[in-house]
Chains A and B, each alone.
Chain A
Amino acid sequence: MTEVEALQAALAGEHAALYGIGVAGGKLSGARFRSATDSYEQHRLNRDRLSQLVVAAGETPAAAEPAYDLPQAVTNAATAAALILLIERRLAAVYGDLVESAEKPAVRTFAVNGLLANAGAQLSWGGTPVAFPGAV
C-alpha cells in the first residue's frame, strides 16, 4: 500500500465514522451524547486534515458515500456505544496501515497520533486494553 492509498483509506474510514457516530448520537443523551459530539468533532478535524494531505500529494480526496451499511442495528444507548467502539477499533487498524505506509514524517506523526487517539477512545466506549491496538 502506498502512502496515498493509505491516506485515501483513512479518509474513507473517517467519512464512514462521521456517518456512524452521527447515527449513534441520535440514541445517546447527557454525558454520552456530549462524548459522541466531541468524538464527531475530532473525526471531522481528522477528515479535513486527511483531505489536505491527499490534495498535497496531488490526488483528489475520496468522497463520502451518501449512506453506509451499519454493521449492527442501533436501537438504544448500548448499541449506539457498541457501534462507536467498533468504529474506533476499525479506524485504529486503518491508522496502523497509515503509520506503516507513511513516507513523510508529517503524515507518520498524524497517523501515530490518530492511532493513539483511537486507542484511547476505545476505552471511553466500553473497550478494554489490547496488546496491539491497530493490528490487522
Chain B
Amino acid sequence: MPTEPRLSRRAVIATAVVLPGAVALGGCKDDEAGSGTPGAVDPKTGQAVEETPTVDPAVVASLSAAAAQVTLLSLGYTSTSRKFPALRTQLAAGAKYHASHLAKLKETAGVQATTPKAPAAASTSSAALAALAKQEKAAAAAHAAAAVKLSGAPARLLAMIAASELQLGTKLTPAKKKADAS
C-alpha cells in the first residue's frame, strides 16, 4: 500500500514563510485609478510631475563640445560666404549640413552650444576655402575620437557627423592638393 508523501519540516516552514507574502500581494490591485505610489508631485499644484530621463553628463559634455565646434564651423561658412559671395553656391550644402548637425546634437537633453566669436575669413577665396577644408578635417578627427569614447546612439551620431565633415573637407580641398595627398 503506497504511503502518502510526507512533507518535511523544512518545506512546511518555507511554505509558512512564503504564503503570507503571497496573500498580502494578492490583495493589491494595481489597475484601479489612484492605486500605486503617486511619484513626484508638484507641491503648488498637487499634480504629478513628469520627469524627463537624465542623460549621462559625460555624453552631454561630449555632444556639447561637438555642438560648439559645429557652431564654429557654421560661423566660418557664414563669414566666408559673406566675404566671397561667389563661393555661396559651393558652400551652401556644407552650411545646411552643419545646421542639421547642430539641430540633431541639440535633440539630446542638456546639450548646449556656446557661441564662439566668428572667425575672420582669409584674404583670398582660395585661402578661405583651404582654411574651411582644414577646419572640417580637424573637426572630423575630433568627432571621430569622441565617438570612440561614447557608446550607443550618441557614438553613432558623432561618427556620422565626423564622416560628413570628412566628406565636406575633402570636397573643399583643391584638386591639386588632393592629388598631392594621394
> What is the minimal beta-carbon distance from B108 to any residue of chain A, in angstroms?
15
Q: What A residues does B78 contact at CB under 8 A? A: none
Q: What B residues does A132 contact at CB under 8 A? A: 100, 104, 160-161, 163-164
Q: What B residues does A135 contact at CB under 8 A? A: 160
Interface residues of B in 27-58 (CB under 8 A from A): none
> With an 8 A cutoff between CB atoms, is B148 at the interface?
yes
> Can you list 11 A-B contacts (CB < 8 A)?
A92-B163, A108-B148, A112-B148, A115-B162, A119-B167, A129-B167, A130-B97, A130-B164, A133-B160, A133-B167, A134-B160
Output the residue of A103, A113, A128, A131 with the most chain B CB within 10 A.
A131
On whether A112 and B147 interact (CB within 8 A), knowing A100-B153, A119-B166, the answer reads: yes
CA distance in complex: A112, B100 (Å): 20
CA distance in complex: A120, B140 (Å): 12
CA distance in complex: A96, B164 (Å): 13
> With an 8 A cutoff between CB atoms, is A109 at the interface?
yes
CA distance in complex: A44, B163 (Å): 21
Interface residues of B in 147-176 (CB under 8 A from A): 147-148, 151-153, 155-156, 159-164, 166-168, 170-171
Nearest first, the 7 A-B pairs at minimum CB distance are: A119-B163, A129-B167, A133-B163, A100-B156, A131-B97, A132-B160, A131-B100
> With an 8 A cutoff between CB atoms, is B94 at the interface?
yes
Nearest B residue to A106, CB-CB: B148
> With an 8 A cutoff between CB atoms, is A78 at the interface?
no
Total A residues in contact with B, Cβ cutoff 8 Å:
27
> With an 8 A cutoff between CB atoms, is B127 at the interface?
no
On whether A99 and B167 interact (CB within 8 A), knowing A112-B147, A132-B161, the answer reads: no
* Total number of residue pairs linking A and B with CB closer than 8 Å: 84
Q: What A residues does B151 contact at CB under 8 A? A: 102-103, 108
Q: What B residues does A119 contact at CB under 8 A? A: 163-164, 166-167
CA distance in complex: A128, B140 (Å): 17
Q: Assuming A123-B167, A131-B97, what are 12 further A-B pairs, CB within 8 angstroms?
A: A108-B148, A108-B155, A116-B162, A116-B163, A116-B166, A129-B94, A129-B97, A131-B96, A131-B101, A132-B104, A134-B159, A135-B160
Interface residues of A in 48-89 (CB under 8 A from B): none
On whether A105 and B148 interact (CB within 8 A), knowing A100-B153, A131-B100, the answer reads: yes
> With an 8 A cutoff between CB atoms, is B129 at the interface?
no
A116 touches B140 (CB 8 A): yes
> With an 8 A cutoff between CB atoms, is B139 at the interface?
no
A128 touches B93 (CB 8 A): yes
> What is the minimal beta-carbon distance from A91 to any residue of chain B, in angstroms?
12
> What is the minimal beta-carbon distance from A53 to any residue of chain B, in angstroms?
15
Q: What A residues does B140 contact at CB under 8 A? A: 116
> With an 8 A cutoff between CB atoms, is B73 at the interface?
no
Q: What A residues does B111 contact at CB under 8 A? A: none
Q: What A residues does B156 contact at CB under 8 A? A: 96, 99-100, 134
